[in-house]
Amino acid sequence: MTMTDTKTVPTFGYELIRDHVLSTILGKHESDILYWSGKELARKFQMFSMEETTSFFQEAGWGELTLERLTKNEAFYKLTGEPDLLQIEKRCFRLEAGFLAQQQQKLGGFLTECFEEKDLKKNVIQFHVKWDLKEKI
């Protein structure tokens, strides 16, 4: 399936796999494996700019990604969406974090990591993408 295909997956089916099957299979290694899986996805679905990631997130059903702040070596993104789709209190967002880190690393050319933080009161996920200007890739 390419990003231009218009097929959709029912939300319930997506939630079953994402929130129950994967967490059961991956167990205590879930967050690490999802992070590296997100990086691998980014290698397969390479963007030409970080702005493209917002539409990718929408098409993937991951939510609305917004760039909040950008500096010379870091970026702050906010992920929002319908509360029943994001499932912030239950879901691990390391897949999305790995995806953002790898896209930035490929586009910027510097070693990059991403960390996420849940804000349950505002129902958002904050992503902090940071790259090391001393570590050229």
Residue 131: inside a domain:
yes
Whole-number pLDDT of residue 106:
98
Domain range for 129 is: 11-136
**How many domains is the chain built from?**
1
- The rounded distance, in Å, linking the Cα atoms of 23 and 75 is 28
Supply 104's token pair. 């930035």
Predicted model pTM: 0.88
Residue 16: inside a domain:
yes
Instruction: Give the pLDDT of the chain (137 residues) as one tens digit per residue.
Output: 455 555 666 777 777 888 788 889 989 999 999 999 999 999 999 999 999 999 999 999 899 999 999 999 999 999 998 876 677 888 899 999 999 999 999 999 999 999 999 999 999 999 999 999 999 99
Supply 54's token pair. 């917002």
Whole-number pLDDT of residue 107:
97
Supply 84's token pair. 């029943």
Whole-number pLDDT of residue 3:
56
- The rounded distance, in Å, linking the Cα atoms of 63 and 54 is 9
73 close to 93: Cβ distance less than 8 angstroms? no
Residue 37: inside a domain:
yes
CB neighbourhood size of 121 (10 A): 6
CATH for 108: 3.30.1380.20
